[in-house]
Structure 1
Amino acid sequence: MAATALVSTVPVWAEVTLGAVIPLSGSNATPGEDQRRAIEIAVKTVNDAGGVLGEPLEVIIEDSAGKPQTAIDAAKKLVSVNDVALVIGSYSSGITLPMGDYLGQEGVPHLNPAATSGLVRGIGDTSFSMVGLDNVSTEFAATEVTANGWENVAVLAVNNAFGQGVAQEIEKHLTSMGGKVTTTVMFNGGQPSYRRELQQLEATNPDAYVFTAYGTDAALIMQESFELGLQEDAPWYSILITMMNTDTPEDFKKGLTGMDVGYLGDGGEGYKHAYESAHGESFLSAYGGYAHDAVLFAAEAINRAGSTDREAVLTAIRELGDEGFNGATGEIKFDAEGQRVRRPYLKLKVEGNDLVTMD
């Protein structure tokens, strides 16, 4: 079982307790830390405003370590030992899907702050997404790729539920826009080298390389593509670029462009200020804000429910999702399947070690 960390500004006897399962170790530890910081800020915001149901709020955080079974075990502990009212998590779709299935079987409300695979829709009626899914993000990416004049592209994606969804959707959208995918290569994360996969891509002589990868895996892919000269042959475009930027050294990502979910919506400046004041730097990924909003959304739903009874909380979540809730990432409204609608995206490019928005 992964070690736990208590995120709270109040004593441990607080009566309203939520759980979170996020990657604090493994290849996605950087965005996981971003989520942890965001949750901590949200807890403070809620408690400074009087807590939940007149009681202080606490969030017990478990480390998924980027492994499905570890995430499921962590969720089981939160449900059976800690008796949490709701679980937030996780990060990647390959972790979120099985964990969400378990929570659904137990009737425990689940807020998804980051997983974007279209398969998330199939988790069930106890699961709700703070973030938009891949069918929307890949259409945005395909539009950008087409606008850049890249007619023939090679696609590289991690071989899990998230990556498979991205690969299928980007090809569908590019084809509908008159483009062509010269090859799609799926890779398994955690490898010591990705040169074989990169050479498979290069052999198709594409106009551009379109890829999506997590953290340290992406950093190695960018390093080896640089060393093999692939970055001189054609431009690289990253889908959900903040997943990889922080972990990739400057020398290996020059000229890289891409897209990601919007960091902030109207009213998000307070969260941004709190984050930068607490940590002395800007966000580590695009996904912390969604974890932050999951805590605020959960707190409001429990207040509406008038208790931590899970059925009552589920009813309140659905009502709040119908009406709309304003968070740091903008207005959160759900469709009939509990998925967020109208999620904006950003065009981004690398300058030095930083990501900057493009017009």
Structure 2
Amino acid sequence: MRKWIPLTLAAVVTAAGLQTSARAEDAPIEIGVIANLTGPDVKTSLQMSRGVELAADDINAAGGINGHPVKLIVEDSEYRAQEALNAATKLYTVDKVPAAIMFGGSSLMIPVAQMAKEQGKILINTSSSSPKLGEYPGTLFSILPLDDIVSKDLGDMIADAGIKTAAVVVPNNAFGLGVADAATAEFEARGGKVVEKIAYTEGQPDYRADVQVLVGDDVGAIIATGYGDDSRTVFRNMRELGIDAPWYAAYPSILDVENPEWMNGKLTGVDNGGYGQGVGEKVLAEYKAKYGDEDVLAHIYYGYDALMVLAKAMEKSGTEPADIAKALPEVVKDYQGATGTIVWDDRGQRIDPPIDVITYEDGKFVTTGHRN
């Protein structure tokens, strides 16, 4: 397994180690981080990791967890399921961490959640949103709401816009199909009609054969989600075919716009919100001061909250995984985070999250409203 730790994360690990004395009562509390730091989608994963690091900075500056500094052990998943399992195996069985914070798609998160369940460990989800993640109560706790929450709101928003017909264009994976199912169900429950459902295979150089079925169809809107390069290719193919319907997307800012002028004002959607106030403002200021990076993604806030709620549970209960699992639902009740108030159902899955309306305007994504 290839491993690469960003210098800034390495600094956290080293700093935590420097605070450690030979006395057991001062020993660091080790927490795992699994992220795709090589391979695809590195930028978003790196920002999540930096959010975890910012939380570690704040925790250690305040005296640690009951006097123990936090030490992060970072493993690279390379955005591959087997490497994610290798990373989790090392963290849970070799390093013996009680809990890990993870970034990755559902195809990675689900097998790691199964391993964590079998080993009686904790996994904090910052990025995956398949409803199947709700099948690991007491093991997997999500800072990110699952797709059935956000996508239901997407279907409602499309119906609220007065749109009567739509086509679905999503990647053929658990994420894409989960968004499609939840958004379609809500849109149709509100009287809309889905005329086509396209689920394309990821990683192809061209999707013209997939989307050309929409030429000439009465399509009032495109219901979509996807990832960077693939979405860019889909947009190009649709533009070249003259398919000019507005796009409504779950998590629009993870899409990569191919032609800014063509897409201007045409792409909108819903995303998790709550970052622009209170703790979120503080985290943003810390992030910019530490990294000098103005291109900020929401993932830093999810990484930050993941470690903060985990630390609060450990402060309350100690570091045994079973005790952490019992404490997590209690501590989030009083936690106002960078992603807003966290409310979990009895599975440890987030409900009633802040939802923002995101629109692509003048070459960038901007928040143009709020759904709750």
Q: Compute the TM-score of the two structures, normalised by the length of structure 1.
A: 0.91
Q: For residue 346 of structure 1, what is the aligned residue in structure 2?
A: 356
Q: For residue 152 of structure 1, what is the aligned residue in structure 2?
A: 165
- Cα distance 1:69–1:124, how it changes in 2: closer, same or farther (>3 A)? farther
Query: Which protein is bigger by CA-based radius of gyration?
Result: 2
Query: Which of 289, 292, 298 is residue 304 of structure 2 equivalent to?
Result: 292
Q: For residue 47 of structure 1, what is the aligned residue in structure 2?
A: 60
Matched, 1:358 2:362: no
Matched, 1:269 2:281: yes
Q: For residue 134 of structure 1, what is the aligned residue in structure 2?
A: 147
Query: Which of 307, 313, 335 is residue 325 of structure 1 equivalent to?
Result: 335
Gaps in structure 1 of 5+ consecutive residues: none
The CA deviation string for residues 307-342 of structure 1, in whole angstroms up to 9 with x for no partner, is x22222222223324x33221111223211111222
Identity %, equivalent residues: 30
- Cα distance 1:2–1:188, how it changes in 2: closer, same or farther (>3 A)? farther
- Cα distance 1:121–1:240, how it changes in 2: closer, same or farther (>3 A)? same
SS of the aligned residue for 1:268 comes to helix
The CA deviation string for residues 96-117 of structure 1, in whole angstroms up to 9 with x for no partner, is 1111111111111111112122
Q: For residue 113 of structure 1, what is the aligned residue in structure 2?
A: 126
Q: For residue 344 of structure 2, what is the aligned residue in structure 1?
A: 334
Q: Which amino acid aligns with 2:239?
A: F
Q: Number of paired residues?
A: 354
The CA deviation string for residues 165-204 of structure 1, in whole angstroms up to 9 with x for no partner, is 1111111101101001111111222222222222134453
Q: Compute the TM-score of the two structures, normalised by the length of structure 2.
A: 0.88
Asked if the contact 1:4–1:63 (Cα under 8 Å) also holds between the matched residues in 2, the reply is yes
Q: Which amino acid aligns with 2:238?
A: S
SS of the aligned residue for 2:223 comes to strand
SS of the aligned residue for 1:258 comes to strand
SS of the aligned residue for 1:358 comes to strand
Asked if the contact 1:258–1:349 (Cα under 8 Å) also holds between the matched residues in 2, the reply is yes
- Cα distance 1:249–1:27, how it changes in 2: closer, same or farther (>3 A)? farther
Matched, 1:59 2:69: no
SS of the aligned residue for 2:219 comes to coil
Map 1:206-245; keep pairs closer than 5 Å. 206-230=219-243, 233-245=244-256
- Cα distance 1:82–1:251, how it changes in 2: closer, same or farther (>3 A)? farther
Mapped to 2, the partners of 1:317 and 1:194 lie a distance apart of 44
Mapped to 2, the partners of 1:251 and 1:67 lie a distance apart of 35
SS of the aligned residue for 2:178 comes to helix
Mapped to 2, the partners of 1:26 and 1:200 lie a distance apart of 33
Q: For residue 24 of structure 2, what is the aligned residue in structure 1?
A: none
- C-alpha displacement of 1:23: 2.3
Mapped to 1, the partners of 2:300 and 2:361 lie a distance apart of 22
Q: CA-atom RMSD, angstroms? A: 2.1
- Cα distance 1:2–1:324, how it changes in 2: closer, same or farther (>3 A)? farther
Gaps in structure 2 of 5+ consecutive residues: 21-26
